Structure 1
């Protein structure tokens, strides 16, 4: 057993909200707690969630009041500083560079000489006005971080191109402060139906065996937003129903583009073919997935895509776009059970036709065998315990580093950020340092009582 760390994870969004980042933080925290580390989560308070809550495994969650505007690096400092001192935190682990509370926490951690780390979950553009301004600003902020974890190699390349000004063909081992640790899924929750693991030969057991699938069900579970390719779905379904009459579609998820799908269903009177469920809680996603035969993912950009892993683990044939980090995930799946293609209506429709023909012409006992093999493969590769162990290695690595001096960081900002914003950031950093001195005077560290109770042993 190595050194035990007191870890604070920062995120703008956490339970009861659901999403890939929330599941990542919760699952990672649970595994770290099992490894005897102390883990707390600090997030933005919600209407019905505020104060301190305890979750499964004794995970302590602070729902704190924060401003819902661009991070000002001042208003939250007194409260976050108090929590970090009280909980004796020595590792700050922020999630997603877009989350305000995480950016502020890293800046505070640098002032307080706490090692910082960030997990990058998303891909960002390089050419739009919004992303250019974003990249300029955060290239200064990121000088404060000790280490980065990317969920895929595509995320790493995207990050390097935005902030380090490097080419795609640079040596992979050149940047020692960047690691790639993929996401994982809970295979105890996402698994095929029990009949897949039954060794009985149903072709001999049944008097009238169903050897081939007759009715095909396609499942789509995603956020109904533009970047998820929702605008492609009506065109795909229109061609699909024109060719096949024995196909149903289940759509789960919520978002601004839901109305677009409902209008399509209403226009062509497809209520008996398309079932739009709306938002689904995470614990019920598996129940929806196992109702289907094919999982359709139309994302226009993805850094990893946990959704196709969950669908594949549940035994579905996956048809997906080949954007971002999806090919990295697909290479570890059964090639007979996944089809990647370009993010267009024609390409996705053709791949969907191939998947339907494969399901219809493959005997059910062969399909069950493929599903079982795929599930066992995912279970061995995408494991949260392994992710936690690799993350602990990063914690150990950064804990051995010396804390960066403020002058070093400011000099790095001035030298590397060739934009007037670097001067603004230097002034901002200086004012924040003065604010830190004031807080040190008003609320000395030795006057803040630490938590005496070992929260890791507290369960609900």
Structure 2
């Protein structure tokens, strides 16, 4: 019988806010619960949401009341989060702390405190960073600090793994690639055939053949291009603002629908005013995640002008809805969809305009079978598969599977002894002196600063153990666990 774990997912990014990381955490948690694990979520308070909430599927969310700093990431408190965090972890009897997203200070702090408390930790990276600008250098130092002492790292694409290994100078064996997935059920095209009932089968002897292509687009039919994105610089909003008037000028029977919100929205609005495009560009403003599909199915093409992206879940959702995807060839995006679903552009204005033109032409010539995309995406991405692979990581770090099996090498011939500071089976040892050795290697000044942080964290921990002893913390009754189905039934 496979072991089950009590897992705490920690990130600043969670519902009610929409986005890729948010839905990743939700879907992964749901599937892990289906597999018999206990999962709770720790995030910061949102307007109207503080304290403990249960989502409809019984997933428990702790909204910790912290000041929100930037783009819904909480203010870095470093130590003041520890007492609340320890309380939650002991109440819920957590074994594994799983942090998400490099810009989330809550996630980094949780990893630090969890290691001080002697818990296993996993970190999932959902973003790519450069190495040159000040913000990236700072983020990389922070990441190096956090990941000096983490048990395992998961990245959402191979590009993302390469980036993280370089940024935090990690051993590549410590990093696994597990992609995002999509609930294809929630992203059905508009005219998707309902499931045929068994009775209607005999009359359709040809049901295994693909349905005939949809009515071809005439030369004067309007083609709608959809963009759903947070309107920030890194999402390529400036590129979009420059490209829209040129695309609309080159192609008379086209229009845009743009959903999303952010500091760059005002640039788009000014561009619409200046070019008098109010009747051809519709700005919807912020939308909730459950509305995304209804916006997508109004379009034929999905345009994704991002400048950096580790995975890009939204383009998989778009393809699942039967949209032809025009996207920039950056980051992990080229790994995400097969080539017949996408047209790639360099992340620059002229190329984006040209690529969109090619996509419009291909649709007008009826060269793309977008009506088959949904079934293809459905078979490519599954959250159950993601949960099984994540569970394997948990088994690896907690010693439930042998190190040779987990890291995929022969430990007997000495390949397993990486460094003095890693304990048995390549899993980080919790001894304070070993942790300090790892942090000390982070840089001349940073190393000493990091060591100081760890020592202070350890002292706070000792203080909490004395002042608020564990036996005074009441244990939460668990939500009844799901019985795990036999693995054979679930692989599908």
The within-5 A match list for 1:84-163 is 84-163=89-168
TM superposition shift of 1:272: 1.1
Counterpart in the other structure of 1:57: 57
Deviations 1:41-86 (A, max 9, x none): 0110122001111103210001112354653332111111011011
Q: TM-score, structure 2 length as denominator? A: 0.84
Counterpart in the other structure of 1:225: 232
Counterpart in the other structure of 1:336: 340
SS of 1:340 mapped into structure 2: strand
Distance in 1 (CA, whole Å) between partners of 2:334 and 2:15 is 29
TM superposition shift of 1:402: 6.5
| 1:360 aligned residue (350, 360, 364) | 364
Distance in 2 (CA, whole Å) between partners of 1:453 and 1:339 is 49
Counterpart in the other structure of 2:397: 398
Say whether the 8 Å CA contact 1:57–1:456 is kept in structure 2: no
Confirm whether residue 304 of structure 1 aligns to residue 311 of structure 2.
yes
TM superposition shift of 1:456: 4.5
Counterpart in the other structure of 1:168: none
| 1:267 aligned residue (271, 274, 279) | 274
Counterpart in the other structure of 2:22: 22
Deviations 1:150-185 (A, max 9, x none): 0011111111111218xxxxxxxx622110000011
Deviations 1:111-137 (A, max 9, x none): 111100010001111011232233234
Q: TM-score, structure 1 length as denominator? A: 0.90
Distance in 1 (CA, whole Å) between partners of 2:304 and 2:336 is 13
Counterpart in the other structure of 2:434: 408
Say whether the 8 Å CA contact 2:116–2:430 is kept in structure 1: no
Deviations 1:402-451 (A, max 9, x none): 6432211211222x322212111112211111111110001112232212
TM superposition shift of 1:32: 0.9
Kindly report the root-mean-square deviation, in angstroms, between the aligned alpha carbons of the 2 structures: 2.1
Going from structure 1 to structure 2, the CA distance change for 1:211 and 1:437 (only over 3 Å counts) comes to closer
Counterpart in the other structure of 1:283: 290
Confirm whether residue 177 of structure 1 aligns to residue 174 of structure 2.
yes
> Across the two proteins, how many residue pairs are aligned to each other?
435
| 2:464 aligned residue (402, 417, 439) | 439
Confirm whether residue 371 of structure 1 aligns to residue 360 of structure 2.
no
**Which segment is superposed worse, 104-113 or 124-133?**
124-133
Counterpart in the other structure of 1:420: 445
Say whether the 8 Å CA contact 1:152–1:180 is kept in structure 2: yes
Say whether the 8 Å CA contact 1:193–1:314 is kept in structure 2: yes
Going from structure 1 to structure 2, the CA distance change for 1:134 and 1:284 (only over 3 Å counts) comes to closer
**Which segment is superposed worse, 398-407 or 422-431?**
398-407
Distance in 1 (CA, whole Å) between partners of 2:18 and 2:110 is 22
Moved over 4 A (4+): 67-70, 195-203
Higher relative contact order (CA 8 A, sep 6+): 1
Counterpart in the other structure of 1:169: none
Counterpart in the other structure of 2:223: 216
**Which segment is superposed worse, 374-383 or 288-297?**
374-383
**Which segment is superposed worse, 440-449 or 60-69?**
60-69
Distance in 1 (CA, whole Å) between partners of 2:95 and 2:469 is 18
Q: Which runs of 5+ in 2 are unaligned?
A: 70-74, 197-206, 400-426, 483-492
Counterpart in the other structure of 2:40: 40
Q: Which runs of 5+ in 1 are unaligned?
A: 166-173, 204-208
Distance in 2 (CA, whole Å) between partners of 1:196 and 1:338 is 24
Which one has the bigger helix percentage? Answer: 1
Distance in 1 (CA, whole Å) between partners of 2:79 and 2:342 is 49
Distance in 2 (CA, whole Å) between partners of 1:80 and 1:288 is 39
Distance in 1 (CA, whole Å) between partners of 2:93 and 2:334 is 41
TM superposition shift of 1:212: 3.0
